[in-house]
Amino acid sequence: MDDRFPKDSPLHAFTDDEVTAIFAAGVRRPCAPGDVLVAEGEPGDSMFFLVEGHAEARVQGGRAVRQYAPGSYFGELSFINPGHKRSATIVTTSPAAVLVLDQTSIQSLLSSHPRAIFTLLRRTTAFLVDAEKNLVADLRRQNQELQDTIARLDFTRRQLSAEEERARTDGLTGLFNRRAFDAELPAFMQRAQAIGKGLALIAMDLDHFKPVNDSMGHAAGDFVLKEVGRILREQVRRTDLPCRIGGDEFIVLLADLDEMAAFKRAEALRMAVGTFSHPGNERGIRITTTMGGTMYRPGEAVEAFMHRADEALYAAKRAGRNRVGWTS
């Protein structure tokens, strides 16, 4: 074997006679630094032995993935299977010389030294097996990375969902808060108009709530508010939206029902609030609620809808409280 080639170079896979035959069948070509020997993606029909100098394989984007020294060869897949697309771009990185074997060369070697072709086939098969193993390992790694990314995204999504839910929920009563109400009301109105079903807005304030806070403390007041929240959650449907919008003020959206059914539901809520037990009972303090309700008029603005419910609430308060005021 020529001493110019390292003893561990790929060229040592061939016998001395085969190397002599290979060099006789090929054409030597000098190269300058930066010469492109093969381009990624182009079909090829020849292979190259690096006789002098150095080269490197680069993939899309210019990233170097392999280095070649004297005694190396590459391109054998296209040499054995003409038209096979190159898997990388190979560029010389120093003054170099290559031996080019084309399809005429393969015919010459088949006639004179067929074992050299067999050695190429054996190495190519081993190369393909290694490439397949690397591909499977890479796919497994990418799949694991994808699973890890999905898990992280799912965790983040659940965190964001939980944070968003907390931001939309009143911490004391567990009802939706003013932020949630402001966000959901337009959607309720659009849906009611689209499907032609009734939508009621019930504005409600607690009567005699201040005496509970003033005479029994905020713990007793918090108990009252929690109980009102429980009553609203238990007595409305999944399609409704019960909200605490501040202090002892609540709003309930009742979807998919007519005016008479909405009024009856408001009355049922009023009666439930007026009969639950609370710490003020022992001191003769009775918690009741005054409500104002109205039905959505298709095409009206949010402000008009809410203003009409507020007017009904104020009218009910002026009439003596503990009642449902209604504006059609």
3-state secondary structure the chain: CCCCCCCCCHHHHCCHHHHHHHHHHCEEEEECCCCEEECCCCECCCEEEEEECCEEEEECCCEEEEEECCCCEECHHHHHCCCCECCCEEEECCCEEEEEECHHHHHHHHHHCHHHHHHHHHHHHHHHHHHHHHHHHHHHHHHHHHHHHHHHHHHHHHHHHHHHHHHHECCCCCCECHHHHHHHHHHHHHHHHHHCCCEEEEEEEEECHHHHHHHHCHHHHHHHHHHHHHHHHHHCCCCCEEEEEECCEEEEEEECCCHHHHHHHHHHHHHHHHHCCCHHHHHCCCCEEEEEEEECCCCCCHHHHHHHHHHHHHHHHHCCCCCEEEEC
pLDDT at 153: 67
Q: How many whole angstroms separate alpha carbon 59 and alpha carbon 143?
A: 22
pLDDT of residue 284: 66
Residue ranges matching CATH 2.60.120.10 in the chain: 10-131
Residue 17: predicted pLDDT: 81
| Two tokens, residue 215 | 């005479």
Residue 317 has what pLDDT? 94
- How far is Cα 189 from Cα 305, in angstroms, rounded to an integer? 10
Is the CATH code 2.60.120.10 the one for domain 10-131?
Answer: yes
For residue 130, the model assigns a pLDDT of 65
- The 10s digit of each residue's pLDDT in 41-95 is 999 898 898 999 999 999 888 888 889 888 888 888 888 788 888 888 999 999 9
Q: Where in the chain is the domain with CATH 3.30.70.270?
A: 178-327
Question: Which portions of the chain are predicted below pLDDT 70?
Answer: 1-12, 126-132, 134-135, 149, 153, 155-162, 280-284
Q: Which whole-number Å values give the CA distances from 183 to 176, 179, 197, 241, in the listed order?
A: 11, 6, 20, 11
Q: What is the pLDDT of residue 251?
A: 97
Assigned architecture for domain 178-327:
2-Layer Sandwich (3.30)
**What is the pLDDT at residue 8?**
60
CA–CA dist 8, 73 (Å, integer):
13
* pTM of the shown model: 0.54
Residues 223, 140: Cα–Cα separation, whole Å:
56
pLDDT of 133: 74
Amino acid identity of 304?
A: A
Query: CA 124: distance to chain centroid?
Result: 41
Q: Say how far apart CA 95 and CA 199 lie, in whole Å.
A: 83
204-242: pLDDT as tens digits = 999 888 877 777 788 888 988 999 999 999 999 988 999
- Triad 245, 246, 248: Cα angle to 5°: 110
Which residues are marked as active site? 248
The pLDDT score that the predictor gives to residue 263 is: 96
Say what the pLDDT of residue 241 is. 93
